[in-house]
Structure 1
Amino acid sequence: MTTPVEDVLGAPFSAQTLNLRPDDEGPVVATLVRRTPIGRHRRAVLYLHGFVDYFFHVHVAQEWVDHGYDFYALDLRKYGRSIRAHQTVNDVTDLADYDEEIDEAVRIIREEGHDVVVLLAHSTGGLIAPLWAHRRRGLHLIDAMVLNSPFFDLNGTALERGLLTRVIDVAGRFLPRLVVSSLASAYAQALHTTNGGEWDFDTSWKSIAESPVRAGWLRAVRRGQKRLNAGLAIDVPVLVITSARSGDGRTPGPHHRDSDCVLDVEHMWRGARVIGPEVTVVTVEGGLHDLSLSPTAVRNRFFREVFDWTATHVPDVQRLRPV
């Protein structure tokens, strides 16, 4: 673990490298981003991003700070700030590998004086987070979870969800870095300022071109989804918040401005029923896949829904630390 330095986002964000166990490609790190100053609030939130993604959501951090939380985000191993030259980007063969950096991030957050921790996760992060919470149940590491359009199942044909998944399970074991598919680029293109979108993210970390999908990663995801849909026992309150509808992810068009064009929202609603005893499902009309990147009026509703929920489901602690 290194000393925090100024983040690529600039002040008031800092970044801290977390040194993890090496894998078959060599040294591995994750990156813990903070919105400073830390320590004013006794509640904190930890953000986990999705596939081919990283934390750049300055406005999300500000919303949580304004609602009484210190803000942290993880760039997971081989994503964003954590990519190293010797690595296959966005690559993992078991979602449980991420337990190491989540554990360490939560430990640091607790050590820095926070009595309450909320885990906020998007898309693939929204699959990783509940699986982690299920494995860590009973340890009181977090107090609540917010899942923004979680990747609870594969948005594909019956053939892809059935026979090809079984083929990938074999191929992913023996040829984990074999490219078997690609992530469509129309959604990311619609978000970026170069195509009339609102967001100016680093396209070397969140690509607006098609991104390779490797057999080992897809095998890990499908195994994680199978485990989730068999039923989890998460022992904290969970909010699953989604768009009201899905759209065609491969064809550019106006639907990329008002629907989830990456995943099937019905998969999210179905998965929400089996992950724990205290799960709230909310839909946001006109929401994009990452609801926090939706047009202004829609994302404002997203934030209202989230903070209305946290007001009743997150333990109430004194807002400001005692002087």
Structure 2
Amino acid sequence: MDKSVTWKPDVLGLGYLQATLELKPDAEGEVVATLVKALPPKVPSFFSRLVGKAEQVATNTDVLYIHGWSDYFFQKNLAEYWRSQGAQFYALDLRKYGRSIRPGQSEGFIEDLSDYDEEIELALEVMGHGTEKSHSDSRAAAGRKLVLMGHSTGGLVLSLWADRNPGRADAVVLNSPWLEYQLTAAARALVTPALRAGAKLNPKTKMPSIDFGFYSRTIDIHKDGEWEFNLDWRPEHGFPVRPAWLNAILTGHAKVAAGLDIDAPVFTWLSTKSLLVPRWSPEMKKADVAIDVNIVAARVHHLGKLVTLSRIENAMHDVILSARPVRQKAFAELTRWLKAYL
């Protein structure tokens, strides 16, 4: 049974609920995270019509999804996929992201990625996957499996969490995880000392933006994409980058480079190519324009002893927002993996 929280209708409409998770306040005041729950559909979805109940590969399974940088959960097709496979799907808007942003806050700001443990643990408690000591009667103890899924920065956050918390997850699924700095580990090592100094002196100073808005253009239904989202929660040029936040990210990258030991099987989607250039091109709709996928591919093998890397041709940064044939290929690859490892 879920921990006692107040569920209310979510902005995604029918079939989605949200609950506010109260966190410890900080210098900016009230801090919350938001857990979104996808209800079983009353009418079979597109995915459900394709997958027979006997072929579902994630029954008796709970999924927790975490978004990327300057993002929030709006990808209803991801929830529909997991529901079609028999899973109960949840998504977490981290503090100062999306549904969890409060007036006067520095969007997306964090000084240590492990601080997210607070909302992750609260979300898992609601889902019935709290620590065994405090939840001996939870659904986890009753045998429900737990899949952690993260996109981009969320993939980095969950990878580090899974490494620190062995035995909690049954599988980890990563969608273009941001596991290394775009300009290689050597460049990361060069910029880190100056960045740490800046993080101490002026942790929230806004740094020059390097987001040209190209990625947003590739997914926005009003431009070159096919998805509708809240531009206040997912702005065209992203949130302001601040020294303390970037230092936290690079510290996470360094930990991955040193090697993690995730004890659950890990599956990762990556595009076959990146296109990191300062000028718009229609080819950006068929490439990752946020991370260097080849550098990240090398880091995937640092996550644990059982890792699977699936390179998806013509995929964008958020693989499930790619063109329909591309995302269908990606979901098929994930389903095949789940049959073997979940």
Q: Deviations over 1:248-278 (max 9, x none)?
A: 2532112211111110111221111111111
SS at match of 2:209: strand
Identity across aligned pairs (percent)? 39
Contact 1:187 1:249 in 2 (8 A): no
Partner of 1:143: 170
Partner of 1:132: 161
Counterparts of 1:15-26 in structure 2, within 5 Å, are: 15-26=18-29
Counterparts of 1:22-61 in structure 2, within 5 Å, are: 22-37=25-40, 42-61=60-79
How many residues in Structure 1 have an aligned counterpart in Structure 2? 311
* Letter of the 1:26 counterpart: G
Contact 1:183 1:211 in 2 (8 A): no
Counterparts of 1:1-323 in structure 2, within 5 Å, are: 2-37=5-40, 42-110=60-128, 113=139, 115-137=144-166, 140-156=167-183, 160-184=187-211, 185-314=213-342
Alignment TM-score, normalising by the size of structure 1 = 0.92
Q: Deviations over 1:130-158 (max 9, x none)?
A: 10111111xx3211000110001111378
SS at match of 2:64: strand
Q: Deviations over 1:29-64 (max 9, x none)?
A: 0000000149x9521111100000000001110011
**In structure 1, C-alpha distance between the alignment counterparts of 2:186 and 2:280, rounded to whole Å:** 24
CA deviation after TM superposition for structure 1 residue 82, in Å: 0.3
* Letter of the 1:312 counterpart: A
Structure 1 runs of 4+ aligned residues shifted over 6 Å read none
Deviates more, 1:206-215 or 1:106-115: 106-115
Q: Alpha carbons of 1:120 and 1:249: their partners in 2 closer, same or farther (altered >3 Å)? A: farther
**In structure 2, C-alpha distance between the alignment counterparts of 1:249 and 1:94, rounded to whole Å:** 30
**In structure 1, C-alpha distance between the alignment counterparts of 2:169 and 2:321, rounded to whole Å:** 25
Gaps of 5+ in 1: 315-323
Partner of 2:49: none
Contact 2:59 2:85 in 1 (8 A): no
CA deviation after TM superposition for structure 1 residue 113, in Å: 3.2
* Letter of the 2:24 counterpart: R
**In structure 2, C-alpha distance between the alignment counterparts of 1:168 and 1:313, rounded to whole Å:** 40
* Letter of the 1:307 counterpart: T
Contact 2:95 2:108 in 1 (8 A): yes
CA deviation after TM superposition for structure 1 residue 21, in Å: 1.1
- Across the aligned residues of Structure 1 and Structure 2, the Cα RMSD in angstroms comes to 1.9
SS at match of 2:34: strand
CA deviation after TM superposition for structure 1 residue 191, in Å: 1.0
